[in-house]
Amino acid sequence: MRLPGEEIGDLGLQGLRLTLTLCYINFVVYLAIYISGMYINIYITSGVNTISIGDPSNIIHMVGATLNFAFTFIVMMVGFLYGMRRVALFSLGAVASLVVATVGGLLFLATGGGRQSGDLTLAGGWIMSLLFMLALFLSYYATLKVMRAVRILEATGRTE
């Protein structure tokens, strides 16, 4: 049975639920990155001090960013492989945003690591923050599409 206008892919209900769980875990990781980033901003640098790559809070933040990127990438690949175009495209946008955000973070660290280290450092910080928010927004839409596909399959009583 085809459902015109709806994008349910060929992943099946069980696979969609697993993907949705991954999306939820990804949001927890987004939250962890946000909290660790704010912690660094307020308590470590305080707008004056610098931070190095080896600082424990920075390592936690970077490991969180790695997990976040990996989970978003996995959702994108699932979208491409299992015929869910919108999930794939929204996640692709999030992945691209995270790449640029990472470059911003690298710029921040490499040019001083403090808000008063110069314009380039400040620009790196802004790029990191803004693109992070864009990625969160796009991941949210991808998750909504997965959620909708789950609801449709549940409502129609299909498993595949």
Give contact residues for other proteins (rule: CB under 8 A).
10-11, 15, 18-19, 22, 52-55, 58-59, 62-63, 66-67, 69-71, 73-74, 77-78, 81-82, 106, 109-110, 160
Cβ distance to other proteins smaller for residue 89 or 103: 103
For residue 75, the minimal CB distance to other proteins (Å) is: 9
**The token pair that represents 6 in the structure block:** 């709806």
For residue 81, the minimal CB distance to other proteins (Å) is: 6
**The token pair that represents 92 in the structure block:** 């692709």
For residue 136, the minimal CB distance to other proteins (Å) is: 19
CA gyration radius, the chain: 18
Cβ distance to other proteins smaller for residue 35 or 81: 81
**The token pair that represents 153 in the structure block:** 């399959």
Question: Long-range CB contacts (< 8 A, 24+ apart) of 23-32?
Answer: 23/71, 23/75, 23/139, 23/142, 23/143, 23/146, 24/143, 25/71, 26/68, 26/71, 26/72, 26/75, 26/139, 26/143, 27/139, 27/143, 29/64, 29/67, 29/68, 29/71, 30/68, 30/136, 30/139, 32/64
Cβ distance to other proteins smaller for residue 82 or 132: 82
For residue 13, the minimal CB distance to other proteins (Å) is: 12
Cβ distance to other proteins smaller for residue 63 or 134: 63
Cβ distance to other proteins smaller for residue 73 or 140: 73
For residue 60, the minimal CB distance to other proteins (Å) is: 9
